[in-house]
Amino acid sequence: MSDRLGIVTVASLEKGVDVRLDSPVSVEDMVVGRYVTIEGQKRRFFGMITDVSLGVTDPRLAVSPPDIADPFIAEVLTGTSTFGTIHVTPMLTIGGDAAALLEGPQPVKTIPGHFSTVNLASERDIELVFGKEDPQRFNIGNPLDMELKLCLNLVEFVKRSNGIFGKSGTGKTFLTRILLIGMLQKSQAVNLIFDMHNEYGWQGTSEAGPPVKGLKQLFQSKVAVFTLDEENSRRRGVSTDFVVKIGYDEIEPEDIAILRSTLNLTDLAVEATYQLRRRFGRSWILKTLDTEDPDEVKQLLEESKIHESTLQSLKRGLATIRRLPFIEPHTPVDAVKSILDHLDRGINVVLEFGRYRDITAYVLVANMLARRIYSQYQSRTEKAMAEGTAPPNPLVITIEEAHKFLNPEVSSQTIFGTIAREMRKYNVSLLVIDQRPSGIDSEVMSQMGTKITCLLDNERDIDSVLAGVSGKSELKSVLARLAPKQQALIFGHAVPMPVAFQPREYGSARSYKDLVSGGQPEQAEKDVEELWE
Amino acid sequence: MRFINNQTPNKIAEVIEASTAQFAAQCYELYEIPPLGSLVKTGDIYGIVAEAMTSSLEPGRKPIARGKDEASEEAVYESSPQLSKLLRSEFIAVVAGHKDGDNLRQYLPPQPARIHGFVYLCQPDEVREFSQSFGFLNILTNVALPVPTEELIAATLRQMSRAHEDSRAFLVAAGKELANLLSADFIRLKNILGRLQ
């Protein structure tokens, strides 16, 4: 099959381009999400197929269909009286004159002329748009139905907060692992991963077959595994670098505030934590819980103007926290300092939660640690700016179940809401993983640089992911047609245009080798070949 | 007058009436009419046989039935040898193109055919050359004759396809051209396609 598909018949910048297919081109070969180029007179357009339809020249044909059992009639009518059309959304202009080539792909501002030829995008075109693997770009997979590499500029990627979305079981974790490996190799950023389900550090589960390797197994020297649950980690055979313990005196009222709904606290109870913190100082939680004597309680209530039921509600909540085994009255070693030490040395940190997978533990620990790390980063970055020295390594914090941190009620209070909004000012960005993007504050969503989404089928989730993207309705049709597994749509800051892609393989011996090498050996081989030419 | 091909075998008819869009020719032999839809030429002009008739030489004189006592049809002609002189076969050809120097044009010539021009039946090579393009189909779809155009077009394509090695491919290509010409009239297209095999 030649790469020519057909000609442009109708076009509008707003609604896209209708292409009538040539007769040898089968409609069934046209898949939504494929790339095409349109050869205009002055420039070339790069676009994506967003709809496929059938047309007839005479409506009577549809009313009294011909006898297509006769192959002759079928052959004559195909592509003439009956034809296929595809709807293409032009995304970029590429090439054209020399100046345009230098500028690289640009967003479209016009449309191709009548009857411009439409071709399947060639490998070269796609390479022009998505780049090829180099020290900054990382191959994350291939565009759907194409044997081509989709390369993501990870240096650009980590400059903003990003999100990975998708229903449970659509491959978010695999995709995240691939991205983390990419960032680890090519972005010059360090990662801090709050690994709720123990999937990223040592090894992860795979629905089909044996466990897959985690980051630590692949990059021994660049990854440190921290754990909250030493016993569990040992049982799983994970060699951990640090056991994280949290002291009561490290918990601040802000940490309780975001647990409001998980701990079932009232607004007043949250309010009371600030008063108690002022009253008791750093060890306010222990002291609050230990105030059992009725007289003392009475005195406390009167002096702090807290209602008794409020105090009871708060106490119930704090008792839940006290039951978390990794919380101790006071910890001799500061977990935050240890994490920062590792990050400063360019070592990525995975924090495993072991058995403590309940959301209270996750939200509490992630928020606490992130807040303190962020404030360190903030002061260091400000200092670096003032003194003109090098700022700390860019930091990417990966959080799962992000809607718990970033929902509209708490996103203004949690540190993650702040990071998502203030973005890269202090060299810290987020990688948000979530299955209910509609639960995330729209303000936070709108600040995300690049979004990668696997299949979503809830209307509200789809709307919230695609909010504000141009060509939303077309993307919606692409998104809704993704396979339930191992297909994703990426759009935003780090890619020149939205792409539906299949993430690269992860789990076989070969895939590990390729991932670890980061595409370098191939390059070396190529260079040697070129040398001999 | 310049002939297209001097090796053309025998002339079969002579132009007796000519206009820009069509010409009528009388066959030299009774009943030796070229088949419906076949390609003929006179001078530089190509025509497609669109209608044929056999009638009395004199318009006012109708033939009478003669075979009551004869055993076969041939016997009628044998016992009245003058018949072949009193009857004549004619056909009408639709002008479908012309030669302009070395170029074959599939549109009407500047001048009509000449009376008494000899008419030749085109040989397969020439038919193949002529049917490289399908401009003539447009002329045929618009012609006004007693013969239905669907019949005429189908007959023409059937005739031409015999000159092609891959006659099916030829018919498919012609069918596609027709489908474009008759894009707004599927019923007509269907009628023609049904008659192509």
* pLDDT interval class at B1 (50, 70, 90): very low
Contacts of A73 in chain B (CB under 8 A): 190, 193-194
Residue B186 to residue A79, Cβ atoms within 8 A = no
Q: Report, as an integer, the average pLDDT of A526-533.
A: 58
* pLDDT interval class at A299 (50, 70, 90): confident
Domain count, chain A: 3
* pLDDT interval class at B42 (50, 70, 90): very high
User: pLDDT digits over A250-295, tens only?
Assistant: 888 888 887 877 788 888 888 888 888 888 887 788 777 777 777 8
Rounded to whole angstroms, how far apart are CA atoms A81 and A175?
45
Say yes or no to pLDDT of A526 above 60: no
Domain boundaries, chain B: 11-194
Q: Are residues A205 and A320 in the same domain?
A: no
User: pLDDT digits over A33-59, tens only?
Assistant: 788 999 988 888 988 888 899 988 888
Rank A1-5, A267-271, B68-72 by mean pLDDT and report only the highest: B68-72
The whole-number pLDDT of residue B127 equals: 93
Residue B193 to residue A72, Cβ atoms within 8 A = yes
The whole-number pLDDT of residue A289 equals: 78
Contacts of A116 (CB under 8 A, 6+ apart): A7, A8, A38, A39, A40, A41
User: pLDDT digits over B17-26, tens only?
Assistant: 999 999 999 9
The percent of residues in chain A predicted with pLDDT above 70, rounded, is 95
Of B99, B104, B160, B94, nearest to B128 by C-alpha is B160
* pLDDT interval class at A101 (50, 70, 90): low
Helix axes B149-162, B186-194, angle to 10 degrees: 40
Of A475, A515, A469, nearest to A499 by C-alpha is A475
Last residue of a domain, one of A130, A162, A184: A130
Contacts of B193 in chain A (CB under 8 A): 66, 72-73, 76
Enumerate chain B positions whose Cβ falls within 8 A of a Cβ in A. 168, 171-172, 175-176, 178-180, 183-187, 189-190, 193-194, 196-197
Inside any domain, residue A113: yes
Rounded to whole angstroms, how far apart are CA atoms A428 and A371?
11
A27 inside 8 A of chain B by CB: no
Contacts of B186 in chain A (CB under 8 A): 57-58, 60-61, 66, 81
Rounded to whole angstroms, how far apart are CA atoms B42 and B64?
34
Contacts of A61 in chain B (CB under 8 A): 186
Inside any domain, residue A82: yes
The whole-number pLDDT of residue B9 equals: 65
Q: Higher pLDDT residue, A406 or B128?
A: B128
A65 inside 8 A of chain B by CB: no
The percent of residues in chain B predicted with pLDDT above 90, rounded, is 62
CB burial string A485-499: b at 16+ within 10 A, e below:
ebbbbbbbbbbbbbb
Selected for mutation to probe chain A from B161, B186, B188, B190 (highest A CB count within 10 Å) is B186
Q: Which domain holds residue A404?
A: 151-245+333-522
Say yes or no to pLDDT of B5 above 60: no
Say yes or no to pLDDT of A424 above 70: no
* pLDDT interval class at B40 (50, 70, 90): very high
CATH number at residue A220: 3.40.50.300
C-alpha A390, offset from chain centre? 28
Inside any domain, residue A266: yes
Rounded to whole angstroms, how far apart are CA atoms A466 and A448?
11
* pLDDT interval class at A423 (50, 70, 90): low
User: pLDDT digits over A331-365, tens only?
Assistant: 777 888 888 888 888 888 888 888 887 777 888 88
Residue located via tokens 């411009």: A116
Q: Are residues A206 and A305 in the same domain?
A: no
The whole-number pLDDT of residue A297 equals: 77
Q: Are residues A203 and A97 in the same domain?
A: no
User: pLDDT digits over B133-192, tens only?
Assistant: 999 999 999 888 888 999 999 999 999 999 999 999 999 999 989 988 988 888 889 889
* pLDDT interval class at A448 (50, 70, 90): confident
Range in A292-301, A486-495, B137-146 the model is least confident about: A292-301
The whole-number pLDDT of residue A522 equals: 52
Q: Are residues A120 and A188 in the same domain?
A: no
Q: Are residues A354 and A223 in the same domain?
A: yes
Shortest Cα–Cα distance, A530 to chain B (Å): 47
* pLDDT interval class at B3 (50, 70, 90): very low
Q: Are residues A235 and A356 in the same domain?
A: yes
Q: Are residues A478 and A384 in the same domain?
A: yes
Rank A213-222, A273-282, B116-125 by mean pLDDT and report only the highest: B116-125
The whole-number pLDDT of residue A369 equals: 85
C-alpha A35, offset from chain centre? 23
Residue A76 to residue B175, Cβ atoms within 8 A = yes
The whole-number pLDDT of residue B115 equals: 95
Last residue of a domain, one of A293, A327, A361: A327
